[in-house]
Structure 1
Amino acid sequence: MKKRNVKVFFGFMVIVVFLSMPLLWATEVVEELENRLQQAASPSERLECLSGLVRICMQEVPLKAWKYGSQALQILQEFPDDRVKIRVLNGMCWACGVLGRYQEGLDMAREAKTLAGEINDKEGLAITFATITNIYLNLSDFDTALDYALKARAMNETVGNKRGIASALNSIARVHRHQKKYEEALTNYQEAMKITEELGNNENAAWILNNMGTVYWELKQYQTALELYARGLKIMKEVESKIGIAQIIYNIACVYSKTGKHTEALQYDMKALELFQELENKGQIAYTYGSIGRDYRNLKDYPKALDYLDKGLKMAIELGVKVAEEAIYEEYTQVYEAMGDYQNALLYHKRFKNISDDILNEDINERIAKKQVSYDLERTEKENQLLKKNNQIQKMELISLTMLSVLVLIIAIVTYNRYRTRKKAEQVLRVSEQKLKKMNAAKDKLFTIIAHDLGSPLNSLLLSAGHLENHFQSLGEEELEEFIHNIYKQTRDMSDLLENLLQWAMVQIGKIEQNPETVDFRLLTEETLEQIEYSAQKKKIHLASHIMENTFAWADKQMMKSVMRNLLANAVKYTHPGGEVKITSTDAGNRVEITVSDNGVGMDKEKAERLFMEEVHESTRGTASEKGTGLGLVLCKEFVEKNGGEIRVQSQPDQGSHFSFTLPKHH
């Protein structure tokens, strides 16, 4: 063992020495700008130096970029320059992405986007779309990332920025790679490489080589991947890109791991970790922790493997990087399997499967495909419009400019004002029509429910009460108790139905008020269980609350009461007599997750997908022929989403159902 450790140490030192040589990258430009900044006398000179420093430092020295950007924004408050501000905000956003401060970065990018739109700065918009794309790629939100990448490409084509077009193609390819659409990914990378080679941009070419290498690595064509990485690494060292070198040696470590060179993989991963830590690139640090955990697993050092996986998982969850979480959960599974701890192996495999399905679901793939098709159609249409416009311009050039006059200008202004007035009127009419349709649909649905779902229990109640009044003296004690129970049950069912109807109607007309506060879910669950305990006892269903102490969420308490009441009533309704309903909570970082589980009848995938759809009005009888309206779960979705959360269901026929919803933690 000692012999192996010595080999690892000396191998590691060779890599350190070899890779440190190009990392003595030139700082002349930064030093020159910093010297100029100290000597700058006017605000405009200081602003020029600061904006340049932000652009140069945003990738390699993000904290410096942030510091200089903050100074630039202070100057811009006194001496406004919108175009400079847009570029400073974008540089600070990029630095936030490197530092893992994604939400802060998005806020700055959105400010830049708004400002660029107001002043019609198309180049600024193109830069901002690319910056936002990078943030969403880091967050594994590939649907949104593709949306902004397509916008970036279109805007760069408008302003004729070939470098920006190549960058957008690179981002589009990254989305396709993450969705395992390798052919489309390679097509976009090759198109980006062609443009990059025409421009002679070596660093961008190196990044594309790196990304293409990753595609071949995922296709298990390891030799091709290593060749592409080697070409990319050579260029990165020539242009002295610290982040580029770190990324490629990290990827080489992945290939070595797949080809059984576990000692070399550990050496390269350790060097990558050192570089990412110097750059304070938290997202890549999380990935690298996971890879080092994998290396130690392959070397059968399981305690160290678990230690690095713990570090990586904590950072990935804090940053919200789902792809890193997915890889680390999978690695946990393999470590525990190797240790013979199959219980933990199964636990982490389930977590891996859940997050994997979340990242790569059919809905996202379908939306991404639609966005791509929509963009291609829009691009073709714009090209046709541009051709027509050019023909019109050629014709207009033949007309003498002397024909323009004040009269034409006045006519144009009057026409434009009339057009705007008509458009506004049409828009108001469309909005009114949509509101009217929605209100009519809500009214029809309300009357349908009242006619079908309220009439029957009301008639039953009247019959029971009438029979009780007419035969009270002749009824035995058991019969009397049964009649009273039936009247209570029918009254309670109508009360629940009316409450759901009232809340649903309030939502439809936008009259429901939201008053968020700190909600103690342990206490709220206990109160709700008391309300449905009678129904559960009648079916001999065991109710079990496993809500942790201090499970506090920031939400509207009355809405949450309705959510819990509907979910628990639903669980009791579809659980067989003698079954069990459980309520559990999970700490999900800055969110709280509540799950209501039963071991009842369950449902198929098709039915589960229709559960929360407002336009689908259907309700299945419960295991004791209980009736419902189908509104309860629709209300649950409305209320959870109004409070900044999400709700989902997992179910299989005859295996019960698990309804889970998340909410923000209390402030």
Structure 2
Amino acid sequence: MSRKLLYITIYLLLFSGSSPLFGQNSPSGELKQLDRLSKREQVKELSRLCWQNRERQTDKAIKYGLQGIKIAKAEGYDKELATLYNYVGVLYQHYKYEIQKGISYYDLGLPLSLQVKDSVEIAYVYNNLGDAFYKIGNIPLAFEYAKKSMAIFERLHNAPGIAYSYINMGELSRINEKYGTALDYFRKAIALRQTFNDSTGIASANLEIARTLFLKGQTDSAMHYFRRSLEKHKQINNKNYMAYSMQGMGDVFLRKAQYDSAYVYFKGALKLCRERKNPTGEIDSQLGMAKVLANTGKEKEGEQMLDEALSNARKSKLTPIILKVYKTKGEFYHQLKEFRKSSGNYQNYVATYDSLFSVLQYQTLSEVKDRFQMAEQLNRVHQDLKAKQKDQIYGIIIIVLLLVLSVVLVLRHRTVSRLSAELLQSNRSKDKILSIISHDLVSSFNVLLGTSELLMEDLEEEDLKRAKSNGRLIQKTSEETYRFISNLLTWARSQQHTIRLYKEEFDLTRLLTEVESMFDNQARMKEIQFHVNAGAELMVDADRNLLQIVLVNLLNNALKFTRRGGTIELSVEKEDGQVKISVKDNGIGISPERMAQLFKNQTIDSLPGTSNEKGTGLGLFLCREFVEMHGGEIHVSSVEGEGSEFWFTLPVS
């Protein structure tokens, strides 16, 4: 059987009616099935069973706890042992009503919790000690432990522990008649417990609110909370707290002189307390019934009930309970005008109180002495915890710094790699540019030199026809070389980022006409017709020289790739709050592959024109840069074999 399957089997046995764990066998026999678990797992399982059964089968829960303590001690499991001591202490205090025995177990668990530096368990031990001293009437010690417990829980942000501390602080505030403060603590406990669905804790806090309101004299509000507490404790089948709620309701009815109802609730509470073998609850119920009997003319029955309560109080050895019985008896006989008996009980009350005061003084001094060393040790634990937290923080900071450094190095590596790739590409582009420049310039000058020699020969031979032809060739070559060098110089300036915008307001229509006239000779040589579509003057705020370069390049490309006898159309119009300038031709068009590479500086690949015109491929890149400097965009559309249209936009002046 796997370990997981074994846990499931144990769980089913625990919660089924046929579970041997809840039969008549001895705990040692019942726990034989745990032998397959490791020792530590056995301790943890016994600890779980101990706490789980604290309410419905307290005796068995104690036996589970003691068995777990035995194993934990033998194996040296100090952390688990400290928890078990605390659990067993709670069982004796709250369910067996042996408070001193509960304190003895807390005393065993506290040094172990300090030794293993378990701050949570230390806080719970302090919380339980505070509650125990509250029950036996040592309010100063109860207050000190409650404060220590709350301080630790709040530092650890332990919500369940903080809620327990609120209850303790509320009870201590109430005993000092600070009812408003007490109610605040109880309500804060409810609000906190709602965040983690602690129905048991919420129910008990409602009971404490009811008790506080009753002491304030707000009986109707108190009755509301007593009823709510009773309802909630019925839902979780907590008979002890059902009894406490019924006692509170009995007190309300008694104060309202509704004696029959009061008696019914006190009697119901007495029955539940006897079922749970709860002596303090039984005594409180008897005292309530005796008060009802005193008010309904049943003095003998009331006297008998008080004597029974005193006997039970002496058996419990709880001095605060004995004091409560003597006080109630004194009030009982005073109401019956039996002043001698009343005085005797008050005298017993005073003598018992004096005895209790002496005991509490000794107890407080002893606790202060015994706990001094523990306080010092706890302080060292806190210092160790702080040092450990600092080490953890420093470790986290170092890890974060290493991560940041790693990220920086990775980003730096990527940046260097990217820049290296860009530099390599740039170098390749520049090599290609230099190659093109050297080839095209040499070719152009060879043409000029060769043609000029032919021109000289023609002039010497007085062949004017051939001289005119060679002169036109020289002019054409010179113009192409000029534009070539002009684009090259402009590109070089743009690469050095020395070009700046010098905006001015001017007429764009006039600029188009001027640029068109610059190409009249070339257009006539190729028999190409220009059409300018522009209306009246259109003012723009732009750099006139840069726009002229853009238009010159676009018109030059249109002339270059338009066949003889073709047409070129220049137009300007306002569109969607912008000025649109377009150059459209019916030339050879552009293939889709070349379209994708236009306007990019990486590609310096110029095709010859329809008359074998040369180019650098830099023109369109410059056009894009200069248009974008103005905040505009440049686009192209083309159908191969049918022509192209280049257009760009500018913001309206």
TM-score by length of 2: 0.50
Q: Larger C-alpha radius of gyration, 1 or 2? A: 2
